[in-house]
Amino acid sequence: MKLGIKAIAFDAYGTLFDLRSVTARCDRKFPGQGAALSQLWRAKQLEYTWLRSLTGRYEDFWAVTESALSFACNSLSLACPPETRRELMESYLHLEVFPDVRPMLAKLSQYKLAILSNGSPKMLAAAEESAGVRGVFTAVISADEVKIYKPSPRVYGLISQRLGVSESTVGFVSSNFWDIAGAKTCGFWTCWANRSNLPEDRLAVRPDVTVNTLDRLIGVMGGMT
């Protein structure tokens, strides 16, 4: 195993912050359609970040998320007046962390811990507050700083700039394989949090470690010291 990790950066949504509350809110507004709406919303949210990065037409993640919600509702023929849209959007401001997150963060407190997310600063600050993890991280880094989204190398480069460490001493953790691939190509040690037991994408890179819960990262890092 690779030695010398000084900092660990985490993706936010789906890695630290549990989005099942978003699905639940969707289902309350549209009974029986919550899962379909939230899945399409999330898929389009990611797709729009990639398309906007490729075309050089940046909007912050809040705007991207709202555009994705509008598309998803239209696609599923769901009426979404401004009040409903506002309520669904605000679900991203009131998130919990997965049950394995707090014990993991406590056990890894000897490292510089950071969040690196496409989320806007407002969204990340609200999620931190809601989940009760404010002050745990040395830095909470938003792609908004460079006006492009992951997996652009410019976003991953923010970690070493903000934390004052070299890329070779950074560990990166995400539940998204495409995110792992982006971090790996930037020289980070990577851990894929494969909560859903998905197959690896065919992107010519592999994570250094795969875990199905984040508490397993404690043992992994313990074996690297």
Contact 92, 73 (CB under 8 A): no
Catalytic annotation present for 11: yes
Contact 140, 128 (CB under 8 A): yes
Rounded CA separation 141/139 (Å): 6
Contact 224, 1 (CB under 8 A): yes
Tokens of 169: 């001493």
Cross-sheet strand order for the sheet of 139-142 = 139-142, 112-117, 7-10, 170-174, 189-193, 209-211
Please list the active-site residues.
11
